[in-house]
């Protein structure tokens, strides 16, 4: 899966896609966070060890490990692509509409697709891309 993501991000940068929004369940998520998306391994291991995420005077425990998320800029061959891995809910499919909405917001701010000016017409996906992954080789809506 990491080879797929690395290649997807690389091709996105080569195609001048500015933003990639990713949503995925827990399988492979932590690997993606640390190995490709520059999430600090020390922060993740601190959470694995059960250390507090907040100061001692804050009455909060934080979230589970598989719900971590990040946003980062990746550079491939001198070209930049901004990648966001959105938070993973406990119900796997709940983040799909959030990812689509975030991608549409990126398209709006980048004047992509239907939001483009007539003289700068672009197709959906020219500047923002949404990647949705489900575990166990399943398809959304599968019965």
For 39-92, what is each residue's pLDDT tens digit?
A: 999 989 988 888 878 888 988 877 888 888 999 999 999 999 999 999 987 777
What pLDDT shows up at residue 120?
A: 62
Tokens 């001198």 correspond to: 78
CB 79 within 8 A of CB 13: yes
Q: How far is 118 from 122, CA to CA, in rounded Å?
A: 9
> Could you give the domains of the chain?
2-137 (3.40.50.970)
Instruction: Specify the 3-state DSSP secondary structure of 114.
Output: helix
**Res 113 pLDDT > 70:** yes
Report the alpha-carbon distance of residue 77 to residue 142 in Å, rounded. 39
pLDDT at 96 over 90: no
* CA–CA gap between residue 92 and residue 107 (Å, rounded): 24
């Amino acid at each position: 899966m990491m080879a797929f993501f690395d290649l997807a991000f690389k091709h996105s940068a080569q195609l001048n896609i500015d933003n990639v929004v990713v949503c995925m369940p827990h399988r492979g998520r932590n690997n993606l966070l640390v190995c490709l998306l520059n999430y600090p391994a020390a922060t993740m291991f601190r959470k694995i060890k059960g250390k507090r995420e907040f100061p001692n005077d804050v009455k909060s425990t934080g979230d589970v490990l598989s719900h971590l998320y990040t946003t980062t800029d990746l550079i491939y061959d001198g070209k930049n692509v901004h990648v966001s891995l959105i938070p993973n809910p406990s119900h796997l499919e709940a983040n799909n509409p959030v990812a689509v909405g975030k991608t549409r917001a990126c398209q709006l701010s980048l004047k992509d697709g239907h939001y483009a000016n007539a003289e700068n017409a672009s197709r959906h996906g020219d500047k923002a891309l949404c990647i949705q992954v489900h575990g166990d080789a399943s398809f959304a809506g599968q019965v």
